[in-house]
């Protein structure tokens, strides 16, 4: 057996988070504590501000998506808060929240914008971070995130690269907006976050929403039974 | 089938969180967004301040507890961030983080402090929120939480009741400190949070820690295999 | 830390299951292996036969229930077999498959049939194992299970008690059939299974169904998005 | 929303499993029910026999592996059977039980044995299904599985290919035994199972073991706390 070793935190009388006494962490805003925990240093005021915008943006997006449905369905089977919230977290797989992570990987790769667009077009693949089913001209949340990053002077190479990708794709194929996933991926990359944590911060940001939905479902008396149809044979 | 209905949020072009446009929520601190989502109204500045203290206090407590072990073990079996974090959330059952919820129920019950202590003594049960394996005189984190609540003039009936329970138990049986769970339960109760959300806000507060541990485990090459012993028969 | 100790099995060169070499277990029917693992002894031929009936009876029950919906929804979020099946297992909480366990507890309690019915009537509670939304006269699966138990001479005190409960309830209140959960609970009790394993054998029996549903969902291209409605305020 | 449609099963008065009335399935051995559910047809007597060998072989392998540790740890946090078993199923990721699936993919690929070995050697990759930390000459469980397949005349192209891979690898590099994962992958391939179900049948086979471990852990009074060490800074 490997004994558990960690650089993250300790507990008990001698409790630390990334080198800072827990009592000092208790003086911090929760979002700054999250930043410290995951990046090992405190954010600047500007970084903290932009990080809050990104977290709050992902906090909850209605009731029909897989994570919410999974959480509420598991609660409805007769389960407590922890099991039900966990089911929603599990649903956040490659196809649900995964576009942020994919887009961060793309932006942080060595390939330049033109190369990326060319390869995607050649392979007939979608570009993560581009396109929205409703917005044709601009996604107001993406614009808000970009505006905030600019105002705080935190927009860097990844924001620039994302906008280039959008411009080149428009020239080569069709005009698509940068969506909220693309904007988040770009500013999180410029804030120095690695793609390996792309799904992680989304989980952190969405867990409050799952808790709220599970709590709401607890007031439903009925067990959730959805309509199904058997399309197989009958002997 | 019951169609999904929610008072919490909507998505798409017309995105709201508890009546507020998502774009307005994006201007909020993440912790205020969490409060809004779960309580349906904005916190005052003082409530926001105290809520941050409580959340940051629970953010991570070292590597040996069940939730961290579960998350890291599941990652080590070859899993991504969402599945691994979910396993840690699942471990937060009745015995792990459950003392906060139990203590909130006790403090919000109709029974007064004396009645509670008497019943617990009669039934030979422990009192949630009292006692610490290391601290004999005071738990510094509990003191910090109480100090902050007092300073912000947010300490109310539950803080008073928790302190009475401690005092009466000391008279009747033995002097025990109010631990950090007891302090959190008391101030969260005075902030108007129901016990049904006691486990929920703990899950929100601890998820960042689980994400950090899963990320750290991803750098371990070896599969976790713990030492076990077969104590059964051999034919 | 407590080192892990187990009476169940060992691995490696010296592999045993409840005292039997793994190579001997490999000669057994899977259902006999399950029985050995959970009860620590081999079943008789009759016990094995009845146990197969019970397991096969629970193997899958269509697509609309919480466990199937949870598994398929989590797969649809972009997850592999293990995470998706686990979500379905999680959904098997107190209200989903829980009637078997509740009924086993009732049948194995010290209270006799009359006392049980009286208490349930007084408290206005439903009796686990009685009633079916479609069948008025008899539930054919329950009858099949009882028939098999009788034929194998394995029906004992619990089957008798379940039937008495049904008869007394019919006298006192209304005629309800013994449903399939009631029949399973009765024969599993007569087979000497404790209620603590009531949910466990149901999970074992249903996992193949969850695997089948996850596999089927993998062929769906579309992400599952259900219809939802926001009933909250809009500022 | 897409309504749920399935070819697997229906419930209620008109209950079918893959075209067979549930009452007929109740007459089957559980393992035959599993086969029917996942493959849509009944196994022959020989297929049924070999399938039982494979399932029983995977039923439980001691207490120190990630799935068992995850299940027992989650139970120890204060959780019921369903949540605890699910945590173990989750741990069965790419590195835990994944060798069977990888090996099935290799055996069912278009590449012949020589090409496979050459590519693996070139890329410096391990060959799934070869090698054992204890057995140098032969893995007795693999031999038993091959023996059974031969006896039942069910060994086909995949068994042949697995043995060729072993022989060519021995010529080119070093003599390694075919391990139990390799034998299972080979016979399951010859039984016509696709790799997409490789993890699925392993989950089915191992779930009884997880149930047994969770039940055993329920008798432990103590909360599992493992030893950890903080290797980070202290300010």
Concatenated DSSP letters of C11-50: -GGG-EETTEEHHHHTTS-HHHHHHHHHHSSPPPHHHHHH
Residues of D with CB below 8 A from C225's CB?
A: 1
Residue C117 has pLDDT above 60, yes or no: yes
Distance CA B146, CA B133 (A): 20
The secondary structure element, H or E, covering residue B203 is helix B198-218
In whole angstroms, what separates CA C80 from the centre of its chain?
A: 25
By residue count, chain D amounts to: 235
Contact by Cβ (8 Å): A128, A185:
yes
| Domain residue limits at B106 | 16-217
Q: Is the Cβ pair D86, B90 closer than 8 Å?
A: yes
Which residues, 6+ apart, have CB-to-CB distance to A11 below 8 Å?
B61, B62, B64, B65
Contact by Cβ (8 Å): D201, D38:
yes
Terminal CA-to-CA distance of chain B, rounded, Å? 54
Residue D2 has pLDDT above 70, yes or no: no
Candidate from A145-159, B124-138, C107-121 with smallest mean pLDDT: B124-138
Chains near C with 3+ CB pairs less than 8 A apart are A, B, D
Distance CA C235, CA C8 (A): 60
SS3 state at A36: helix
Chains near B with 3+ CB pairs less than 8 A apart are A, C, D
Q: What is the ipTM of this complex?
A: 0.96
Vertex D52, ends C216 and C101: CA angle to 5°?
Answer: 70
**C228-230/C20-21 β-pairing:** unpaired
pLDDT in the model for residue B1: 47
Contact by Cβ (8 Å): B69, A190:
no
Most A CBs within 10 A among C91, C100, C203, hence the mutation to make, goes to C91
In whole angstroms, what separates CA B144 from the centre of its chain?
A: 16
Over range D136-158, report the average pLDDT. Answer: 95
Q: For the CA atoms of C122, C125, C131, C136, what is the dihedral angle to 10 degrees? A: 50
Contact by Cβ (8 Å): A64, A166:
no
Tell me if B232 is assigned to some domain.
no
pLDDT in the model for residue C2: 60
Q: How far does the CA of residue D123 sit from the closest CA of chain A (Å)?
A: 24
Whose structure tokens read 């000459």? Answer: D137
Q: Average model confidence (pLDDT) for chain D?
A: 95
Residue C98 has pLDDT above 80, yes or no: yes
Q: For the CA atoms of A155, A159, A164, A165, what is the dihedral angle to 10 degrees? A: 180
Contact by Cβ (8 Å): D127, D109:
no
Q: How many domains does chain D have?
A: 1
Tell me if B227 is assigned to some domain.
no
The secondary structure element, H or E, covering residue D230 is strand D228-230
Residue A82 has pLDDT above 60, yes or no: yes
The per-residue pLDDT for range D28-75, each reduced to its tens digit, is 999 999 999 999 999 999 999 999 999 999 999 999 999 999 999 999
The per-residue pLDDT for range D73-109, each reduced to its tens digit, is 999 999 999 999 999 999 999 998 889 999 999 999 9
The per-residue pLDDT for range A179-229, each reduced to its tens digit, is 999 999 999 999 999 999 999 999 999 999 999 999 999 999 878 888 899
Task: Give residue ranges of B with CB < 8 Å to any D CB.
Answer: 62-70, 73-74, 76-79, 83, 86-87, 90-96, 98, 223-230
Q: Is the Cβ pair D228, B63 closer than 8 Å?
A: yes
Tell me if B100 is assigned to some domain.
yes
Tell me if D228 is assigned to some domain.
no
Q: Could you say which residues of chain B have pLDDT below 70? A: 1-2
pLDDT in the model for residue C1: 47
Tell me if B126 is assigned to some domain.
yes
Q: How far does the CA of residue B170 sit from the closest CA of chain C (Å)?
A: 31
Name the residue among C64, C83, C227 with its Cβ closest to that of D4. C64
Tell me if B3 is assigned to some domain.
no
Q: State residue B203 phi and psi, 5-degree precision.
A: -60, -45
The per-residue pLDDT for range C119-168, each reduced to its tens digit, is 999 999 999 999 988 888 899 999 999 999 999 999 999 999 999 999 99
Tell me if A11 is assigned to some domain.
no
Strands (E), D74-205: none
Q: Which of the 8 DSSP states describes residue D13? A: G
By residue count, chain B amounts to: 235
Q: Is the Cβ pair B74, D90 closer than 8 Å?
A: yes
Over range D181-204, report the average pLDDT. Answer: 97
Nearest to B203 by CA among B44, B40, B34, B64: B34
Q: State residue D16 phi and psi, 5-degree precision.
A: -130, 150
Tell me if B229 is assigned to some domain.
no
Contact by Cβ (8 Å): A181, A103:
yes
Name the residue among B66, B83, B94 with its Cβ closest to that of D90. B83
- The residues with which A93 forms a beta bridge, in sequence order, are none
Q: How far does the CA of residue C64 sit from the closest CA of chain A (Å)?
A: 5
Over range A120-140, report the average pLDDT. Answer: 92
pLDDT in the model for residue A1: 47
SS3 state at A59: coil
| Domain harbouring B171, CATH code | 1.10.230.10
Most A CBs within 10 A among C61, C78, C212, C221, hence the mutation to make, goes to C78
């Amino acid at each position: 057996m490997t004994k558990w070793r960690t650089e993250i935190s300790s507990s008990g009388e001698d409790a630390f988070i990334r080198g800072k006494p827990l009592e000092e962490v208790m003086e911090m805003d929760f979002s700054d504590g999250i930043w410290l925990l995951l990046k090992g240093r405190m954010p600047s005021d500007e970084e903290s501000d932009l990080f809050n915008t990104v977290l709050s943006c992902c906090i909850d997006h209605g009731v029909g998506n897989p994570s919410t449905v999974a959480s509420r369905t598991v609660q409805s089977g007769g389960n407590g808060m922890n099991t039900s919230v966990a089911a929603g977290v599990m649903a956040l797989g490659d196809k649900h929240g995964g576009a942020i992570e994919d887009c961060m990987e793309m932006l942080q790769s060595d390939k330049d914008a033109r190369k990326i667009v060319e390869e995607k077009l050649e392979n007939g693949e979608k570009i993560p971070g581009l396109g929205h089913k409703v917005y044709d001209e601009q996604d107001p949340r993406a614009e808000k995130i970009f505006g905030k990053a600019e105002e705080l002077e935190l927009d860097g190479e990844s924001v620039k690269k994302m906008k280039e990708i959008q411009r080149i794709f428009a020239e080569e194929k069709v005009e698509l907006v940068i969506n909220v996933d693309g904007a988040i991926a770009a500013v999180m990359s410029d804030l120095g976050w690695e793609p390996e944590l792309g799904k992680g911060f989304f989980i952190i940001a969405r867990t409050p929403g799952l808790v709220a939905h599970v709590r709401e479902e607890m007031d439903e008396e009925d067990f959730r039974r959805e309509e199904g149809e058997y399309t197989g044979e009958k002997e």
